Amino acid sequence: MRKLIIAFALICAGGLAHAQSGNDMRTLQDDRGRTVSIPENPKRIVVLQEPILGVPILELGRDIVGSYGRNDDGSSMLRVDFIQSVLGKDGKALGIGGIGPIGNLDLEKLRALKPDLIIGGESDEDKADLLSSVAPVYLQNIRTPDITGFITQQKLADLLGAQQQYQALWDGYQKQIEDVRAHLPGNPDGKTYMAVIIHDTINMVTNKSGAVQAIEDLGYHRLEIDGTGKASGYGQGFSVPLSSEQFARLNPDLLIVMNSYVSADRSEETIRKRLDVIVPGWNRFLRPEKEGRIVFVDSVKVSTPTIASARHTLDAISDWAASR
């Protein structure tokens, strides 16, 4: 009897200690097939891909304590700041710390942030075992062919138990879709679109961003172009190269054009100058330009896989529709 009482007391003490830690663990399988134990309610998340993983988490109302591409003071190492541009939030004020320069992750800095969960993409798989010495590492597919539109954000919501926040964002987004559709010049159902981003060359934007999700949710479908599939050798990332000749022949019902996200100036004027260099005379023969069917957008605002990026795209399309 005395042993039973002791055992019961030990079990109670163990349970109490576990409850006081305030963070139960759960075991699950990540997208790379790894079995990983993560906190039920992670409080100190570090992301290894800020635009694709960090911004969606912040929009869901969850905090991140560290991100690849941030300085120690929370400012962006890059010329662009996705958190500021997409969400209007300040990385410094949010207290997001850096984990070393891009391409050279600093394990000491990572550990100093005391993360309880590290979230990375499939390209971080080679680092996962090493990073696991600091905190549990969950790898989520972000660039595989099955990942389109908001799927990344939706999966993060499921992972972090933020389904309600995601649903609220989704409801607001759906309302805006209906509003914008009502103000478009003509019914978009069955009409075509093409989204391009201009780096050194012109590239077709694939369906991995909030921008393309929004355009397709409006009813447009992508203009088919030969030679841009996986067999072309360019893969299926965020964008695939498009030749100047192909661009000059484009005639979708809606053409979305954005400047590279590494460019400081992403205004319509700069985009036009860049096109003058890459495709001289484009404004004289490109039909969407001649017929006023081009929408210029800020690539930083619209390229993340978030509802916020989709809504920025809808804002731009709405402004374009109003100006016609």
Partner 1 sequence: MRLTKGLHGYAVLRLGSGLEIRLHNLLTAIAMALLVVIGGVVLLTMGSTDSTFSDLVDLLRGSAMSEDLSFAIADVRMPRILMGFMAGWCVALTGAMLQSLAQNPLADPGLLGLSQGSLVAIMLVLVLFPGLPLIYTPLAGFVGGLAVAVLLMVLVGRHHSGGLGILLMGIAVETTLSSVTSVLILYAPPEQSHAIASWLAGSLFHSDWPAVGGFSVWFFFSIPAVLVVGRKLRSLDLGDHMALALGEPVHVTKPIILIIAVLLSAAATAAVGPLVFLGVMAPHLAGFISPAKGRARLLLSAMMGGVLVVAADGLTRLGPDQVALPTGLAIMMIGAPLFIISLRIRTMRQARS
Residues that bind partner 1 (CB under 8 A): 71-72, 77, 98, 100-109, 111-112, 121-123, 125-127, 129-130, 133, 143-144, 233, 235, 237
Least separation in angstroms between CB 106 and partner 1: 6
Residue 293, beta-bridge partner list: none
Instruction: Return the beta strands (E) in 183-282 as ranges.
Output: 192-198, 202-205, 221-222, 239-242, 254-259
Nearer to partner 1, 19 or 130 (CB): 130
Q: Which is nearer to partner 1, 55 or 113 (CB)?
A: 113
Q: Element (H or E) spanning 297, and its range?
A: strand 294-297
Q: Under a CB-based contact definition with an 8 Å cutoff, are residues 80 and 301 in contact?
A: no
CB closer to partner 1, 126 vs 226: 126
Cα separation, 296 vs 313, whole angstroms: 10
Q: In whole angstroms, how close is the CB of 70 to partner 1 at the nearest point?
A: 10
Nearer to partner 1, 76 or 306 (CB): 76
Q: Please report how close the Cβ of residue 96 comes to partner 1 at its closest, in angstroms.
A: 15
From the list 229, 222, 225, 269, the residue with the least C-alpha distance to 245 is: 225
Residue entry with tokens 């016609």:
324
Q: How far is the CB of 77 from partner 1 (least distance, A)?
A: 5
Q: Are the C-beta atoms of residues 182 and 188 closer than 8 Å to each other? A: no
Q: Are strands 117-120 and 137-139 parallel, antiparallel or unpaired?
A: parallel
CB of 262 to partner 1, least distance (A): 15
Nearer to partner 1, 105 or 278 (CB): 105
